[in-house]
């Protein structure tokens, strides 16, 4: 069960966000996307979105208590779910820890439909998983920072960071805790190979992740490319 809470004065904005999340989520049907059950509006001041309860919690919590879990399955499942979203013109916008053991993408509060006008939000996701183009640069020389917008490419960047957490059971290193950075900080966002042992992240996997973290969004792989690369690494054969 998930509830969107509102303080006095912002109820209309929260209601709009809830309606948008319902419109996006209810149409999705994939084994790696958390199923939407419905809306409950009679037990709390505001409506609640109802989904299946994931008693294992988010993947980070699950891996701490199940260190021998099939991490390939988690990575491949999330990639498959993300590709499904993108194929249906849905930008998730806040890809981070997902429910386990059976990997499912959840939380569509910041999602948008790429073919639909008006699906905008002031929020841009969870800071440690943001793509570089979604940070506000304090010493930027242009005013383009007001046009920040999540895309399929920023989803792919976030996916790469999530893979690090799945494979190592640790949050990605050297990530900011706030959405405001300097130009120098922006240049050092990219994860470094020396921080992660090859015993946990193979060279082949790291090469794929490096492509997900290319600075220019348009040069990152699509979610379909990511899925194909994971297959070429044999992840689907090891499930």
Span 7-58, pLDDT tens digits: 434 445 557 767 777 778 788 889 898 887 777 777 666 666 766 777 677 7
Q: What is the pLDDT of residue 35?
A: 82
Q: What is the pLDDT of residue 58?
A: 78
* Distance, CA of 220 to CA of 113 (rounded, Å): 20
Confidence of residue 3 (pLDDT cuts 50, 70, 90): very low
The count of C-alpha atoms lying within 13 angstroms of the C-alpha of 173, restricted to the half-sphere facing its C-beta, is 7
Higher pLDDT, 195 or 117: 195
Q: What is the DSSP string of 39-71?
A: EE-SSSSS-EEEE---TT-BHHHHHHH-TTS-H
Percent of the chain with pLDDT over 70: 76
> Which residues fall within 8 angstroms of residue 87, CB to CB, at 6 or more apart?
223, 224
What is the rounded (10 degree) CA torsion for 133, 30, 88, 238?
60
Q: What is the pLDDT of residue 234?
A: 92
Q: What is the pLDDT of residue 116?
A: 60
Q: Which domains does the chain have, with CATH numbers?
A: 56-234 (1.10.510.10)
Quote the pTM value: 0.82
Confidence of residue 93 (pLDDT cuts 50, 70, 90): confident
> Which residues fall within 8 angstroms of residue 171, CB to CB, at 6 or more apart?
60, 128, 165
The pLDDT mean for the chain works out to 81
**Closest to 26 in 3D by CA, of 111, 152, 119, 96:** 111
* Distance, CA of 201 to CA of 164 (rounded, Å): 8
Span 121-149, pLDDT tens digits: 445 678 889 999 999 888 777 655 556 78
* Distance, CA of 148 to CA of 171 (rounded, Å): 24
Q: Is the pLDDT of residue 64 over 90?
A: no
Q: For 155-180, what is the HEC assignment?
A: HHHHHHHHHHHHHHCCCCCCCCCCCE
Q: What is the pLDDT of residue 181?
A: 92
Q: Is the pLDDT of residue 117 over 60?
A: no
Q: What is the DSSP string of 185-238?
A: HHHT-S--GGGS-TTTS-HHHHHHHHHHT-SSGGGSPPHHHHHHHHHHTTTGGG
Tokens 């890809």 belong to residue: 95
Q: What is the pLDDT of residue 139?
A: 79
């Amino acid at each position: 069960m998930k509830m969107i809470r509102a303080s006095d004065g912002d109820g209309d904005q929260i209601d709009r966000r809830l309606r948008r999340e319902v419109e996006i989520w209810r149409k999705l049907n994939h084994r790696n996307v958390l199923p939407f059950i419905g809306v409950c509006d009679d037990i709390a001041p505001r409506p609640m979105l109802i989904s299946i309860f994931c008693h294992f919690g988010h993947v980070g919590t699950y891996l701490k208590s199940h260190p021998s879990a099939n991490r390939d399955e988690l990575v491949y499942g999330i990639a498959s779910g993300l590709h499904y979203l993108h194929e249906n013109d849905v930008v998730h916008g806040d890809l981070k820890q997902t429910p386990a053991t059976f990997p499912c993408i959840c939380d569509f509060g910041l999602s948008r439909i790429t073919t639909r006008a008006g699906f905008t939000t002031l929020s841009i996701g969870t800071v440690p998983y943001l793509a570089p183009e979604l940070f506000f640069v304090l010493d930027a020389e242009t005013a383009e920072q007001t046009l920040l917008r999540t895309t399929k490419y920023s989803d792919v960047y976030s996916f790469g960071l999530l893979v690090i957490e799945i494979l190592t059971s640790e949050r990605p290193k050297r990530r900011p805790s706030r959405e405001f950075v300097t130009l120098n900080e922006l240049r050092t966002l990219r994860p470094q190979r020396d921080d992660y042992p090859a015993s946990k992240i193979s060279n082949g996997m790291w090469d794929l992740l490096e492509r997900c973290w290319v600075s220019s969004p348009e040069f990152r792989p699509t979610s379909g490319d990511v899925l194909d690369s994971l297959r070429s690494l044999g992840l689907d054969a090891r499930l």
